[in-house]
Amino acid sequence: MTELATKRRRVCSQGALRTSPPTPCGGQSKHRNCFVPFAVAFLFFFAAPSIYGASVTPAVDWKDLSDRKLTDTGKAALAVYKDAWQHAETEYFVYHFHDAKEAETILIHTEVYYHWVKEIFGVAEDPKLFKGKSHIFIFDDKTLWKSFNQTTPEKLPGAEAFTNGLELFIYREPFWLEPQRVLAHEITHLVLHRFVKGEVPLFLNEGFAEFMATKAVAMKADGNEFNVRTFQLVPENEFIPLEELILLKRYPDTEEKNTIFYRESELLTRFLVLNYQKEKLYELLKETAAGATFEKALKGIYGVDLKTLVEKFKTYAMTRG
């Protein structure tokens, strides 16, 4: 996941994280029928009082944190504000922030998104694949953020956030009061690192993160994605054949192709979650991260061969005309 972190945020901030305008879709009613009960489930988790309890998590001294282990990038972030950093921790995350009030939104929604992933995966407990907690550094000074970003191994000066798998670094815009797509996207990557051992294939890694991000945006419309149109189908002349998508090891080399890559990867995840038992996605992620080919894992977990999926997915994801 470290290699993925180096390019991901530039791509997402320019293309795939943009809310899409309405697109005519012949299969819209079918998608709506599949999505509505799923949206209700997400709203239930968002509103759970136990999750909102995260907003009152008290700040603690650095020396009192249960996990102070950081990567070199984490240590560099800690040096930015030095003693001005404040700290808080929950069961699975350690938060580092400069302004407690401004950091509260990120703390609340991080805990919400974590529970969303667990609900989709159908797991009750964190598998704890590594010792320690995931660290989240929240910057609120744009100048300091840009300066820090230019000195890290990732070097993504135009990014809003990036993760190395163990840590998340994010710039929080002032007056950022609602769920943010970029936060949901990156938190999903962070949680995946806790739940899946190995490297998830690129299209599944980004597709699942984008799928979760659209759920965060949909909160603006009471969970109804059809009111905000957070996703968009792929034009026929730009469609990436599924046989090619599943073999990609690197991000496409242009912004336009990247936008299609993210969109199509998200649509594939959406198709699998909404048309099959959603918990199967977790098994797919684990199997492919362990080295199984997508085609083999697909057949073993979903009972579907690649040829059949190719035909169904093209009808689902591609616009014609």
Task: Report pLDDT for 230.
Answer: 56
Task: Report pLDDT for 198.
Answer: 94
Task: Report pLDDT for 50.
Answer: 37
Which residue type does 165 have?
G
Task: Report pLDDT for 51.
Answer: 35
C-beta of residue 223 within 8 angstroms of C-beta of residue 39: yes
Q: What is the DSSP letter of 60?
A: B
Domain ranges of the chain: 2-233
Closest CA to 264 of 247, 285, 239, 290: 239
Task: Report pLDDT for 156.
Answer: 66
Task: Report pLDDT for 182.
Answer: 87
**Beta-bridge mates of residue 34:** none
Residue 193: CA count within 13 A, CB half-sphere: 22
Question: Rounded to an integer, what distance in angstroms lies between the CA atom of residue 198 and that of residue 299?
Answer: 21
pLDDT single digits (tens) 85-132? 999 999 999 999 988 887 888 888 899 999 999 999 999 988 888 889
Closest CA to 165 of 289, 26, 277: 289
Task: Report pLDDT for 7.
Answer: 42
In the sheet that holds 134-139, the strands lie side by side as 86-89, 93-97, 134-139, 167-171, 161-163
Task: Report pLDDT for 103.
Answer: 84
Question: Rounded to an integer, what distance in angstroms lies between the CA atom of residue 274 and that of residue 222?
Answer: 19
Task: Report pLDDT for 105.
Answer: 83
C-beta of residue 10 within 8 angstroms of C-beta of residue 158: yes
**Beta-bridge mates of residue 93:** 134
Task: Report pLDDT for 61.
Answer: 94
Along the chain (321 residues), what's the average pLDDT of each consecutive run of 10 residues? 41 32 30 34 37 59 95 94 91 92 85 93 88 93 89 72 92 66 92 94 97 83 55 89 96 93 96 95 98 98 97 88 52
Q: How far is CA 60 from the centre of its chain?
A: 28
Task: Report pLDDT for 40.
Answer: 34
Kindly report the backbone phi and psi dihedral angles of residue 136, in degrees, each rounded to the nearest multiple of 5, phi listed first.
Answer: -125, 120
Question: Rounded to an integer, what distance in angstroms lies between the CA atom of residue 158 and that of residue 145?
Answer: 10
pLDDT single digits (tens) 32-58? 333 333 333 333 333 333 333 444 478
C-beta of residue 67 within 8 angstroms of C-beta of residue 84: no
- Name the token pair of 64: 């009192």
